[in-house]
Chain A
Protein backbone atom coordinates (compact mmCIF):
# COMPACT_ATOMS: atom_id res chain seq x y z
CA UNK A 1 0.00 0.00 0.00
CA UNK A 2 1.29 3.42 -0.91
CA UNK A 3 0.39 5.81 1.85
CA UNK A 4 -0.98 9.23 0.90
CA UNK A 5 -1.93 10.62 4.29
CA UNK A 6 -0.63 13.93 5.54
CA UNK A 7 -1.10 15.21 9.09
CA UNK A 8 -3.29 18.22 8.42
CA UNK A 9 -4.42 20.88 5.98
CA UNK A 10 -1.18 22.88 6.42
CA UNK A 11 0.94 19.96 5.30
CA UNK A 12 -1.57 19.18 2.55
CA UNK A 13 -1.10 22.63 1.03
CA UNK A 14 2.72 22.66 1.03
CA UNK A 15 4.11 24.00 -2.21
CA UNK A 16 1.30 26.33 -3.16
CA UNK A 17 2.59 29.65 -4.46
CA UNK A 18 1.46 32.97 -5.87
CA UNK A 19 0.38 32.90 -9.52
CA UNK A 20 -0.56 29.22 -9.56
CA UNK A 21 -3.64 27.64 -11.13
CA UNK A 22 -5.94 25.67 -8.82
CA UNK A 23 -8.87 23.38 -9.59
CA UNK A 24 -11.50 23.27 -6.85
CA UNK A 25 -14.35 20.77 -6.72
CA UNK A 26 -17.92 21.61 -5.75
CA UNK A 27 -21.23 22.70 -7.22
CA UNK A 28 -22.44 25.85 -5.53
CA UNK A 29 -21.49 25.24 -1.90
CA UNK A 30 -22.12 21.49 -2.19
CA UNK A 31 -18.99 19.32 -1.99
CA UNK A 32 -16.46 22.16 -1.73
CA UNK A 33 -13.08 21.60 -0.01
CA UNK A 34 -13.89 23.83 2.97
CA UNK A 35 -10.70 23.17 4.95
CA UNK A 36 -8.43 23.81 1.98
CA UNK A 37 -10.21 27.04 1.08
CA UNK A 38 -9.66 28.28 4.66
CA UNK A 39 -5.98 27.40 4.37
CA UNK A 40 -5.65 29.26 1.04
CA UNK A 41 -7.14 32.31 2.78
CA UNK A 42 -4.81 31.90 5.78
CA UNK A 43 -1.72 31.63 3.58
CA UNK A 44 -2.91 34.64 1.59
CA UNK A 45 -1.67 33.16 -1.68
CA UNK A 46 -1.98 35.84 -4.39
CA UNK A 47 -2.82 36.16 -8.09
CA UNK A 48 -4.27 32.69 -8.38
CA UNK A 49 -6.37 31.32 -11.23
CA UNK A 50 -9.28 29.21 -9.99
CA UNK A 51 -11.01 26.60 -12.10
CA UNK A 52 -14.28 25.94 -10.33
CA UNK A 53 -17.86 25.61 -11.55
CA UNK A 54 -19.00 28.45 -9.28
CA UNK A 55 -17.40 31.18 -7.19
CA UNK A 56 -19.06 30.66 -3.82
CA UNK A 57 -21.13 33.29 -2.03
CA UNK A 58 -19.94 36.51 -0.40
CA UNK A 59 -18.91 34.97 2.90
CA UNK A 60 -18.34 31.30 2.11
CA UNK A 61 -16.55 29.06 -0.36
CA UNK A 62 -14.40 30.83 -2.94
CA UNK A 63 -16.10 34.08 -1.89
CA UNK A 64 -13.62 34.09 1.01
CA UNK A 65 -10.68 34.29 -1.41
CA UNK A 66 -12.47 36.88 -3.51
CA UNK A 67 -13.00 39.10 -0.52
CA UNK A 68 -9.24 39.20 0.06
CA UNK A 69 -8.52 39.87 -3.63
CA UNK A 70 -6.50 36.67 -3.96
CA UNK A 71 -8.05 35.62 -7.26
CA UNK A 72 -6.64 36.97 -10.52
CA UNK A 73 -8.84 34.89 -12.79
CA UNK A 74 -11.92 32.67 -12.44
CA UNK A 75 -12.78 29.95 -14.94
CA UNK A 76 -16.38 28.91 -14.25
CA UNK A 77 -19.72 28.12 -15.86
CA UNK A 78 -21.93 30.13 -13.51
CA UNK A 79 -20.99 32.89 -11.09
CA UNK A 80 -24.31 34.30 -9.86
CA UNK A 81 -25.25 34.94 -6.22
CA UNK A 82 -22.08 36.81 -5.30
CA UNK A 83 -22.11 40.63 -5.02
CA UNK A 84 -18.36 41.01 -4.40
CA UNK A 85 -17.64 38.89 -7.45
CA UNK A 86 -19.84 41.15 -9.55
CA UNK A 87 -18.13 44.26 -8.23
CA UNK A 88 -14.60 42.98 -8.94
CA UNK A 89 -15.60 41.74 -12.37
CA UNK A 90 -17.26 45.00 -13.41
CA UNK A 91 -14.29 47.04 -12.10
CA UNK A 92 -11.88 44.89 -14.09
CA UNK A 93 -10.11 43.81 -10.87
CA UNK A 94 -10.55 40.19 -11.81
CA UNK A 95 -10.60 38.32 -15.10
CA UNK A 96 -13.48 35.90 -15.74
CA UNK A 97 -13.72 33.16 -18.35
CA UNK A 98 -17.17 31.62 -18.62
CA UNK A 99 -17.37 28.24 -20.27
CA UNK A 100 -20.15 25.66 -20.68
CA UNK A 101 -20.51 23.37 -17.67
CA UNK A 102 -20.06 20.11 -19.57
CA UNK A 103 -16.99 21.53 -21.31
CA UNK A 104 -15.57 22.51 -17.91
CA UNK A 105 -16.04 18.97 -16.59
CA UNK A 106 -14.61 17.38 -19.72
CA UNK A 107 -11.56 19.69 -19.75
CA UNK A 108 -10.81 18.39 -16.23
CA UNK A 109 -11.35 14.77 -17.18
CA UNK A 110 -9.24 15.20 -20.33
CA UNK A 111 -6.40 16.64 -18.23
CA UNK A 112 -6.56 13.64 -15.93
CA UNK A 113 -6.75 11.14 -18.77
CA UNK A 114 -3.96 12.41 -21.03
CA UNK A 115 -6.26 13.72 -23.76
CA UNK A 116 -4.84 17.11 -24.84
CA UNK A 117 -7.99 18.28 -26.64
CA UNK A 118 -11.44 17.09 -27.74
CA UNK A 119 -14.42 18.20 -29.81
CA UNK A 120 -17.78 19.10 -28.34
CA UNK A 121 -20.93 20.54 -29.93
CA UNK A 122 -21.43 22.85 -26.92
CA UNK A 123 -20.99 26.50 -27.78
CA UNK A 124 -20.81 26.10 -31.55
CA UNK A 125 -22.15 29.26 -33.21
CA UNK A 126 -21.79 31.27 -29.98
CA UNK A 127 -19.11 33.56 -28.56
CA UNK A 128 -17.66 30.56 -26.70
CA UNK A 129 -16.41 29.21 -30.06
CA UNK A 130 -14.72 32.46 -31.12
CA UNK A 131 -11.06 31.89 -32.00
CA UNK A 132 -11.37 28.14 -31.58
CA UNK A 133 -10.98 25.44 -34.21
CA UNK A 134 -14.32 24.03 -35.40
CA UNK A 135 -14.89 20.84 -37.31
CA UNK A 136 -17.76 18.77 -38.68
CA UNK A 137 -18.31 15.21 -37.51
CA UNK A 138 -21.31 13.14 -38.64
CA UNK A 139 -22.93 16.20 -40.16
CA UNK A 140 -22.74 18.30 -37.00
CA UNK A 141 -20.37 21.13 -36.10
CA UNK A 142 -18.11 20.87 -33.08
CA UNK A 143 -15.68 23.12 -31.22
CA UNK A 144 -12.20 22.02 -30.18
CA UNK A 145 -11.58 22.45 -26.46
CA UNK A 146 -8.30 21.83 -24.66
CA UNK A 147 -7.51 19.99 -21.44
CA UNK A 148 -6.88 22.26 -18.46
CA UNK A 149 -3.41 22.67 -17.03
CA UNK A 150 -3.36 23.20 -13.27
CA UNK A 151 -0.78 23.11 -10.50
CA UNK A 152 -3.09 21.72 -7.83
CA UNK A 153 -6.47 19.97 -7.75
CA UNK A 154 -8.32 20.45 -4.46
CA UNK A 155 -11.18 18.02 -3.90
CA UNK A 156 -13.57 17.00 -1.15
CA UNK A 157 -14.86 13.46 -0.61
CA UNK A 158 -17.08 11.79 1.98
CA UNK A 159 -14.78 8.90 2.90
CA UNK A 160 -11.21 8.11 2.04
CA UNK A 161 -8.51 5.71 3.12
CA UNK A 162 -4.75 5.97 3.71
CA UNK A 163 -4.13 4.81 0.13
CA UNK A 164 -6.01 7.85 -1.20
CA UNK A 165 -9.08 5.91 -2.40
CA UNK A 166 -12.20 8.07 -2.34
CA UNK A 167 -15.96 7.66 -1.97
CA UNK A 168 -18.32 10.59 -2.54
CA UNK A 169 -21.81 11.21 -1.23
CA UNK A 170 -24.93 12.36 -3.07
CA UNK A 171 -24.53 15.34 -5.37
CA UNK A 172 -21.46 16.45 -3.41
CA UNK A 173 -19.64 14.31 -5.97
CA UNK A 174 -20.13 16.78 -8.87
CA UNK A 175 -16.80 18.10 -10.23
CA UNK A 176 -14.58 16.42 -7.62
CA UNK A 177 -13.91 13.10 -9.42
CA UNK A 178 -13.03 14.71 -12.77
CA UNK A 179 -10.51 16.97 -11.01
CA UNK A 180 -8.72 14.06 -9.28
CA UNK A 181 -5.44 13.62 -11.10
CA UNK A 182 -6.13 16.58 -13.39
CA UNK A 183 -3.74 18.96 -11.62
CA UNK A 184 -0.03 18.21 -11.06
CA UNK A 185 -0.79 17.50 -7.39
CA UNK A 186 -4.21 16.40 -6.13
CA UNK A 187 -5.10 17.06 -2.51
CA UNK A 188 -8.20 15.40 -1.09
CA UNK A 189 -9.94 16.35 2.14
CA UNK A 190 -12.41 13.83 3.50
CA UNK A 191 -14.99 13.77 6.27
CA UNK A 192 -13.81 10.37 7.41
CA UNK A 193 -10.33 8.96 6.89
CA UNK A 194 -9.94 5.24 7.54
CA UNK A 195 -7.04 2.76 7.47
CA UNK A 196 -6.42 0.88 4.22
CA UNK A 197 -8.60 -2.21 3.97
CA UNK A 198 -11.67 -0.70 5.56
CA UNK A 199 -13.26 0.54 2.35
CA UNK A 200 -14.67 -2.10 0.02
CA UNK A 201 -12.63 -1.89 -3.25
CA UNK A 202 -15.90 -2.47 -5.14
CA UNK A 203 -17.30 0.77 -3.78
CA UNK A 204 -14.35 3.08 -4.54
CA UNK A 205 -15.30 5.98 -6.85
CA UNK A 206 -11.76 7.31 -7.39
CA UNK A 207 -8.67 5.13 -6.94
CA UNK A 208 -5.77 6.46 -4.89
CA UNK A 209 -3.40 6.62 -7.84
CA UNK A 210 -4.91 10.01 -8.71
CA UNK A 211 -4.39 11.41 -5.20
CA UNK A 212 -1.07 12.64 -3.80
CA UNK A 213 -2.19 13.88 -0.39
CA UNK A 214 -5.20 13.04 1.77
CA UNK A 215 -6.29 14.29 5.19
CA UNK A 216 -9.36 14.33 7.38
CA UNK A 217 -11.04 17.72 7.41
CA UNK A 218 -12.55 19.38 10.46
CA UNK A 219 -15.61 21.41 11.37
CA UNK A 220 -17.56 20.98 8.17
CA UNK A 221 -20.18 23.66 7.89
CA UNK A 222 -21.83 22.31 4.69
CA UNK A 223 -23.85 25.42 4.18
CA UNK A 224 -27.09 25.10 2.19
CA UNK A 225 -27.48 27.76 -0.49
CA UNK A 226 -31.20 27.38 -1.24
CA UNK A 227 -33.02 25.61 1.54
CA UNK A 228 -36.20 24.35 -0.11
CA UNK A 229 -38.62 22.15 1.81
CA UNK A 230 -42.22 21.00 1.63
CA UNK A 231 -44.65 21.03 4.50
CA UNK A 232 -45.78 17.85 6.14
CA UNK A 233 -49.50 17.19 5.78
Chain B
Protein backbone atom coordinates (compact mmCIF):
# COMPACT_ATOMS: atom_id res chain seq x y z
CA UNK B 1 0.00 0.00 0.00
CA UNK B 2 1.14 3.51 -0.76
CA UNK B 3 2.52 5.46 2.21
CA UNK B 4 0.45 8.03 4.07
CA UNK B 5 1.88 11.53 4.52
CA UNK B 6 2.86 10.55 8.08
CA UNK B 7 4.69 7.47 6.78
CA UNK B 8 6.58 9.55 4.21
CA UNK B 9 7.68 11.79 7.10
CA UNK B 10 8.52 8.73 9.20
CA UNK B 11 10.73 7.33 6.44
CA UNK B 12 12.50 10.66 5.90
CA UNK B 13 13.15 10.91 9.65
CA UNK B 14 15.57 7.97 9.26
CA UNK B 15 17.79 10.24 7.15
CA UNK B 16 18.18 12.68 10.05
CA UNK B 17 21.47 11.90 11.79
CA UNK B 18 22.96 12.75 15.17
CA UNK B 19 24.37 16.29 15.23
CA UNK B 20 22.38 17.55 12.24
CA UNK B 21 20.99 21.05 11.88
CA UNK B 22 17.86 20.59 9.78
CA UNK B 23 15.56 22.97 7.90
CA UNK B 24 12.02 21.66 7.38
CA UNK B 25 9.72 23.07 4.73
CA UNK B 26 5.96 23.46 5.04
CA UNK B 27 3.62 20.44 4.67
CA UNK B 28 4.88 16.85 4.93
CA UNK B 29 8.42 18.04 5.90
CA UNK B 30 7.04 19.67 9.06
CA UNK B 31 5.79 16.24 10.19
CA UNK B 32 9.34 14.82 10.08
CA UNK B 33 10.11 16.42 13.46
CA UNK B 34 7.55 14.09 15.09
CA UNK B 35 9.45 10.96 14.01
CA UNK B 36 13.09 11.80 14.69
CA UNK B 37 14.66 9.35 17.19
CA UNK B 38 14.87 10.88 20.62
CA UNK B 39 18.27 9.34 21.41
CA UNK B 40 20.03 11.65 18.92
CA UNK B 41 20.75 15.38 19.07
CA UNK B 42 19.15 17.38 16.27
CA UNK B 43 18.30 21.09 15.99
CA UNK B 44 15.62 22.43 13.71
CA UNK B 45 16.19 25.73 11.96
CA UNK B 46 13.36 27.94 10.85
CA UNK B 47 14.52 30.49 8.31
CA UNK B 48 12.64 33.37 9.92
CA UNK B 49 15.29 33.29 12.62
CA UNK B 50 15.39 30.43 15.13
CA UNK B 51 17.62 27.43 15.75
CA UNK B 52 16.44 24.90 18.31
CA UNK B 53 12.76 25.13 17.43
CA UNK B 54 10.51 23.16 19.77
CA UNK B 55 6.94 21.86 19.59
CA UNK B 56 3.81 24.01 19.43
CA UNK B 57 3.11 25.83 22.70
CA UNK B 58 0.50 24.69 25.19
CA UNK B 59 -2.80 26.51 24.91
CA UNK B 60 -2.48 29.95 26.50
CA UNK B 61 1.33 29.94 26.37
CA UNK B 62 1.62 31.14 22.77
CA UNK B 63 3.90 34.14 22.12
CA UNK B 64 3.17 36.35 19.09
CA UNK B 65 6.91 37.11 18.92
CA UNK B 66 7.79 33.43 18.45
CA UNK B 67 6.67 31.81 15.19
CA UNK B 68 8.05 29.46 12.52
CA UNK B 69 8.36 30.10 8.78
CA UNK B 70 4.78 28.88 8.34
CA UNK B 71 3.72 31.69 10.72
CA UNK B 72 2.60 29.14 13.33
CA UNK B 73 3.25 29.78 17.02
CA UNK B 74 6.14 27.63 18.32
CA UNK B 75 8.41 27.20 21.34
CA UNK B 76 12.18 27.32 21.71
CA UNK B 77 14.09 24.42 23.30
CA UNK B 78 17.03 24.71 25.72
CA UNK B 79 20.06 25.75 23.65
CA UNK B 80 17.93 27.65 21.13
CA UNK B 81 19.00 30.94 19.56
CA UNK B 82 17.35 33.76 17.64
CA UNK B 83 18.91 35.73 14.81
CA UNK B 84 17.96 37.99 11.94
CA UNK B 85 16.96 36.97 8.41
CA UNK B 86 20.29 37.94 6.83
CA UNK B 87 22.19 35.72 9.27
CA UNK B 88 19.63 32.96 8.85
CA UNK B 89 20.20 32.81 5.12
CA UNK B 90 23.93 33.16 5.74
CA UNK B 91 23.64 29.87 7.62
CA UNK B 92 21.80 28.33 4.70
CA UNK B 93 23.93 29.77 1.89
CA UNK B 94 27.12 29.07 3.81
CA UNK B 95 26.10 25.39 4.07
CA UNK B 96 26.07 25.28 7.85
CA UNK B 97 22.65 23.65 7.78
CA UNK B 98 23.19 19.92 7.21
CA UNK B 99 19.88 18.85 5.73
CA UNK B 100 16.99 20.54 3.95
CA UNK B 101 13.67 18.72 3.56
CA UNK B 102 11.05 20.30 1.36
CA UNK B 103 8.04 19.56 -0.80
CA UNK B 104 7.84 19.76 -4.59
CA UNK B 105 5.34 19.90 -7.42
CA UNK B 106 7.82 18.35 -9.86
CA UNK B 107 11.35 16.93 -9.79
CA UNK B 108 13.37 16.10 -12.89
CA UNK B 109 15.89 13.30 -13.28
CA UNK B 110 18.83 15.72 -13.26
CA UNK B 111 17.73 17.08 -9.88
CA UNK B 112 15.83 20.20 -10.95
CA UNK B 113 12.93 21.12 -8.69
CA UNK B 114 9.75 23.12 -9.28
CA UNK B 115 7.70 24.04 -6.23
CA UNK B 116 6.70 27.69 -6.28
CA UNK B 117 4.63 28.66 -9.27
CA UNK B 118 1.89 27.33 -11.52
CA UNK B 119 1.33 29.50 -14.60
CA UNK B 120 -2.21 30.88 -14.67
CA UNK B 121 -2.68 30.48 -10.94
CA UNK B 122 -2.11 33.05 -8.22
CA UNK B 123 1.60 33.13 -7.44
CA UNK B 124 2.31 33.45 -3.76
CA UNK B 125 6.08 33.59 -4.01
CA UNK B 126 9.11 31.41 -3.47
CA UNK B 127 9.79 32.46 0.13
CA UNK B 128 13.11 30.92 1.10
CA UNK B 129 12.87 27.89 -1.20
CA UNK B 130 15.22 29.20 -3.90
CA UNK B 131 17.91 30.07 -1.36
CA UNK B 132 17.53 26.68 0.30
CA UNK B 133 17.73 24.54 -2.84
CA UNK B 134 20.57 26.55 -4.37
CA UNK B 135 22.79 26.19 -1.34
CA UNK B 136 22.00 23.04 0.63
CA UNK B 137 24.35 20.13 0.01
CA UNK B 138 21.85 17.60 1.21
CA UNK B 139 18.29 18.03 -0.04
CA UNK B 140 15.50 15.51 0.41
CA UNK B 141 12.21 16.07 -1.35
CA UNK B 142 8.98 14.82 0.23
CA UNK B 143 6.20 14.47 -2.33
CA UNK B 144 3.42 12.37 -3.76
CA UNK B 145 4.64 10.32 -6.72
CA UNK B 146 1.78 11.49 -8.95
CA UNK B 147 -0.58 14.46 -9.06
CA UNK B 148 -4.35 14.35 -8.56
CA UNK B 149 -4.83 13.46 -12.23
CA UNK B 150 -2.49 10.49 -11.75
CA UNK B 151 0.31 12.06 -13.79
CA UNK B 152 3.90 11.51 -12.75
CA UNK B 153 5.68 14.26 -10.81
CA UNK B 154 9.06 12.57 -11.39
CA UNK B 155 9.90 13.75 -14.87
CA UNK B 156 12.58 13.79 -17.54
CA UNK B 157 12.27 17.59 -17.45
CA UNK B 158 10.17 19.84 -15.23
CA UNK B 159 7.30 21.57 -17.02
CA UNK B 160 6.67 24.19 -14.31
CA UNK B 161 8.88 27.24 -13.61
CA UNK B 162 11.97 26.05 -11.74
CA UNK B 163 12.93 26.76 -8.14
CA UNK B 164 16.47 25.44 -8.60
CA UNK B 165 18.61 23.34 -10.92
CA UNK B 166 20.67 20.17 -10.28
CA UNK B 167 20.05 20.25 -6.58
CA UNK B 168 17.81 17.38 -5.41
CA UNK B 169 19.68 14.33 -4.11
CA UNK B 170 16.98 12.12 -2.65
CA UNK B 171 13.21 11.81 -3.03
CA UNK B 172 10.75 10.06 -0.74
CA UNK B 173 7.30 9.62 -2.24
CA UNK B 174 4.20 7.65 -1.24
CA UNK B 175 5.50 4.83 -3.46
CA UNK B 176 9.28 4.79 -3.21
CA UNK B 177 12.64 6.13 -2.08
CA UNK B 178 14.78 7.25 -4.99
CA UNK B 179 18.15 8.88 -5.50
CA UNK B 180 19.28 11.07 -8.37
CA UNK B 181 22.35 9.42 -9.87
CA UNK B 182 23.97 10.39 -13.19
CA UNK B 183 20.86 12.18 -14.43
CA UNK B 184 18.45 9.34 -13.65
CA UNK B 185 16.16 8.18 -10.85
CA UNK B 186 17.74 5.24 -9.02
CA UNK B 187 15.12 3.19 -7.18
CA UNK B 188 16.28 2.36 -3.63
CA UNK B 189 13.19 1.21 -1.74
CA UNK B 190 9.52 0.58 -2.41
CA UNK B 191 6.48 1.13 -0.21
CA UNK B 192 5.04 -2.02 1.41
CA UNK B 193 3.09 -3.99 -1.17
CA UNK B 194 3.94 -1.63 -4.04
CA UNK B 195 5.60 -3.38 -6.96
CA UNK B 196 8.53 -2.15 -9.03
CA UNK B 197 6.16 -2.19 -12.02
CA UNK B 198 3.75 0.19 -10.31
CA UNK B 199 6.62 2.57 -9.50
CA UNK B 200 7.89 2.29 -13.07
CA UNK B 201 4.42 3.15 -14.37
CA UNK B 202 4.14 6.19 -12.11
CA UNK B 203 7.58 7.52 -13.10
CA UNK B 204 7.84 9.46 -16.37
CA UNK B 205 11.61 10.02 -16.02
CA UNK B 206 14.22 7.30 -16.55
CA UNK B 207 14.11 4.83 -13.67
CA UNK B 208 17.09 2.61 -12.84
CA UNK B 209 16.24 -0.67 -11.10
CA UNK B 210 19.25 -2.66 -9.89
CA UNK B 211 18.73 -6.07 -8.31
CA UNK B 212 16.10 -6.69 -5.66
CA UNK B 213 14.42 -3.56 -4.35
CA UNK B 214 13.83 -3.75 -0.61
CA UNK B 215 10.45 -3.04 0.85
CA UNK B 216 10.15 -0.32 3.51
CA UNK B 217 9.21 -1.50 7.00
CA UNK B 218 7.23 0.48 9.55
> What are the residues of chain A within 8 A of B93 when measuring CB–CB?
102, 120-122
Q: Which of B46, B58, B86, B112 contacts A171 (CB 8 A)?
A: B46
Which A residues touch B122, using CB under 8 A? 86, 89-90
B48 CB-CB contact with A under 8 Å: yes
B138 to chain A, nearest CB (A): 15
- Say if the beta carbon of A53 comes within 8 Å of chain B: yes
Query: Whole-angstrom distance between the alpha carbons of A17 and B165 in the complex?
Result: 42
Q: Which residues of A contact B72 (CB under 8 A)?
A: 226-228
How many chain B residues sit at the interface, stated as a range, is: 35 or more
Which residues on the A side are within 8 Å of B6 (C-beta)?
none
Closest to B80 in A: A170
Q: How distant is the Cα of A79 from the Cα of B126 in the complex, in angstroms? A: 9
On chain A, the number of residues with a Cβ less than 8 Å from chain B's Cβ atoms is 57
The answer to whether B109 has its CB under 8 Å from any CB of chain A is no
- Closest residue of chain A to B93 (Cβ to Cβ) is A102
Q: How far is the CA of A27 from the CA of B76 in the complex (A)?
A: 17
- In the bound assembly, the distance between CA atoms of A28 and B163 in angstroms comes to 22
Chain B residues whose CB sits within 8 angstroms of the CB of A126 once the complex forms: 130, 161-165
Interface of B is mostly: loop
A8 within 8 A of B: no
Pick the contact of B65 from A105, A121, A169 — CB < 8 Å? A169
Stretch from A38-46, A172-180, A192-200, A210-218 contacting the other chain: A172-180
Does B126 lie within 8 Å of A77, measured CB to CB?
Answer: yes
A105 touches B88 (CB 8 A): yes
- Chain A residue at minimal CB-CB distance from B50: A171
Digit string of B76-99 for contact with A (CB within 8 Å is 1, else 0)? 100000111110110011000000
A102 touches B161 (CB 8 A): no
**Are A230's CB and B55's CB within 8 A?**
yes
B196 at the interface (CB under 8 A from A): no
Q: Does B73 contact A (CB under 8 A)?
A: yes
Let me know if A21 is at the binding interface, CB within 8 A: no
| Per-residue B-contact encoding for A99-124, CB less than 8 Å = 1, 0 else | 01111111011000000000011111
Say yes or no: is A93 at the interface (Cβ < 8 Å to chain B). Answer: no
Q: Which of B47, B73, B128, B130 contacts A227 (CB 8 A)?
A: B73
Q: B183 in the interface, Cβ–Cβ < 8 Å?
A: no
Is the CB–CB distance between A222 and B58 below 8 Å? no
A178 CA / B66 CA spacing, docked (Å):
19
Flag whether A31 is at the interface (Cβ < 8 A). yes
Complex Cα distance, B48 from A29, in Å, reads 12
Q: Are A175 and B59 in contact (CB under 8 A)?
A: no
A172 and B82 alpha carbons, distance in the complex (Å): 9
Least distance between B61 CB and chain A CB atoms (Å): 8
B86 and A100 form a contact (CB under 8 A): no
Greatest chain A CB density within 10 A among B61, B126, B166 is at B126
Cβ of B70 under 8 Å from chain A: yes
A151 to B55, CA, bound (A): 40
**6 examples of A-B residue contacts, CB within 8 angstroms:** A79-B124, A101-B131, A105-B89, A168-B82, A227-B73, A228-B74
Query: Contacts A31-B65, A108-B86 given; 5 further ones with Cβ under 8 A?
Result: A80-B124, A100-B128, A102-B88, A171-B65, A227-B72
A: residues with CB less than 8 A from B are 27-31, 53, 76-80, 86, 89-90, 98, 100-106, 108-109, 120-128, 158, 168-178, 205, 222-232
Using a CB–CB cutoff of 8 Å, the interface residues on chain B facing chain A are: 46-50, 55-74, 76, 82-86, 88-89, 92-93, 112, 122-131, 134-135, 161-166
